[in-house]
Structure 1
């Protein structure tokens, strides 16, 4: 198979590239050159947001293209239009954020969507991803596959969610653990995302799929205990009720990554229907494997994970954590 990855040097794109190379596929990576492409690929350079920026793609032909773009949908439109006659199937890595908020418990792919346009410039993330979907659909029709990813974690993560927890727990001592401890989580390991995406594209699947684990694939306790085990630290998890955490002004998801207290946002993020993707072959590895492998990768970088410039830093300030733990004593 001949694969073109638009991006291909960070997190999801890089993992897709590595999975494809392991299959023996011929891989081409197109990016701006900010990061060097992995070894074993053909590297093409260009800025898709600039006039003539797609010129490096002229004349090439591929069986599958994978696009992870998160910004202006017009850039997806231009790439899809340029490749429509030279790519067999176009995979757009979208997001479950395309669903109108709040998304009901058990929402599947037919749930209401946000507005979007393939001609939009800079817009909010949900509208950008929806506009990207519409851009690809307009050019590829039933040759378009939309991987609507949920929370993505694993090696190469450049958002900082799981790396923050690992580094905090590695420091040891009393660690604020946001309750309830049996809070059920829904996410996807980036490697499971990559594997399913390439399998599905090769099989000729089309349309949208919620690409995330089944609800309750793990819990907050299992996740944080896996972090303790992976790091080998002396950390002591001290569970604090969500009411006390939010009353202190702590922001779920950002101050305490991954965690959301029970309620509307939690239902939207962690209680979606993933049965369509599971029926189409999605298999999600155990949380312990995801955590351990992420720790191995992170320690190889000296504990400092890469971070996307367009995303805010995450994590709880030590003094806020200490105050909450003292209050819970």
Structure 2
């Protein structure tokens, strides 16, 4: 019997990837979104509506039932509460995509699924530039979903997601910067481990849990420690864009120098963050239950192929925050090479 799936979202990045993955598995897929931005994948049935409108949620429920629902767009606790109540009787499994930002100790301490979340504990020693409000909102969303769905709820907590159709702009910025060539400000330590996960791997795992879950479950979704480094990322960008060593040169600049010059972590130089446990997310539980993480090289190559395919890149409003200006990068490199402040 054909499996039926509803994707809450479905027209952008992860939601789109979930819909495509389900279609490739031969499932019947509905997507629910407002239809104002993004593009729904070919082959889905589009259901238009606003998840904050109770009447539209009731109308949505009338199109069910579905074997499973994957929610990639739930950002507000009230909206998630309303949608999980409205849809509780028309699905056997609800997969809610949350974030590692729900943890009270991220990014200061290593994480497992048993680490305290912001729903139960205040943030612990978290720096001011970490978006605690976002994490708290998502933690409250988890609480609302669990209250309404109980044992039918799967919660996925990804870290950084990269890959084709990325609209946040992290990997696309690095690819464009490396393609431009010249001397490139490479942040921190070349051997710094990173744990980004490919959007298609998150989508495959969401569909896997939609089909195989039994009872309430929570998973961190991140590549294993040692999967890749910052050097791996930037060299993969060079290979993907065809940028040779003669066209570009990576200049690795110390964390302390960048911090002393007020470079914004996480955004001006995407994926660069100095906090000790940024990339210490334990995803072993998810890997034991079906998560497979492809090589970072493939993620980078496929993202560049998409970016150069002629398809319009639909950017999220947050994309404008990512990337350092050419002038600031040049000034920093000039001072660094001149022998600017060095760590003691």
Matches within 5 A, 1:184-195: 184-195=193-204
Task: Tell me by how many angstroms 1:103 deviates.
Answer: 5.1
Q: Pick closer, same or farther for the CA change 1:228–1:3 going to 2, 3 Å.
A: same
Q: Pick closer, same or farther for the CA change 1:327–1:104 going to 2, 3 Å.
A: closer
Moved more, 66-75 or 313-322: 66-75
**2:42 maps to 1:39:** yes
Structure 1 stretches lacking a partner, 5+ long? 117-122
**3-state SS in 2 of match to 1:88:** strand
Question: Partner of 2:128 in structure 1?
Answer: none
Structure 2 Cα separation of the partners of residues 164 and 266 of structure 1: 24
Q: Deviations over 1:296-326 (max 9, x none)?
A: 1111247x73221256521011111111211
Structure 1 Cα separation of the partners of residues 110 and 253 of structure 2: 28
**2:111 maps to 1:98:** no
Question: Partner of 2:240 in structure 1?
Answer: 230
**3-state SS in 1 of match to 2:225:** coil
Task: Tell me by how many angstroms 1:58 deviates.
Answer: 3.1
**2:315 maps to 1:307:** yes
TM-score, scaled to structure 1: 0.92
Asked whether the equivalents of residues 70 and 128 of structure 1 are also in contact (C-alpha less than 8 Å), the reply is no
Matches within 5 A, 1:1-329: 1-34=3-36, 35-59=38-62, 60-102=64-106, 105-115=109-119, 124-205=133-214, 206-233=216-243, 234-261=247-274, 265-267=275-277, 269-301=278-310, 305-309=313-317, 312-329=320-337
Asked whether the equivalents of residues 184 and 219 of structure 1 are also in contact (C-alpha less than 8 Å), the reply is yes
Structure 2 Cα separation of the partners of residues 54 and 210 of structure 1: 29
Structure 2 stretches lacking a partner, 5+ long? 121-131, 338-344
Task: Tell me by how many angstroms 1:135 deviates.
Answer: 1.5
TM-score, scaled to structure 2: 0.88
Task: Tell me by how many angstroms 1:179 deviates.
Answer: 2.0
**3-state SS in 1 of match to 2:157:** strand
Asked whether the equivalents of residues 152 and 190 of structure 1 are also in contact (C-alpha less than 8 Å), the reply is yes
Task: Tell me by how many angstroms 1:36 deviates.
Answer: 3.9
**3-state SS in 2 of match to 1:18:** helix
Asked whether the equivalents of residues 58 and 86 of structure 2 are also in contact (C-alpha less than 8 Å), the reply is no
Question: Partner of 1:120 in structure 2?
Answer: none
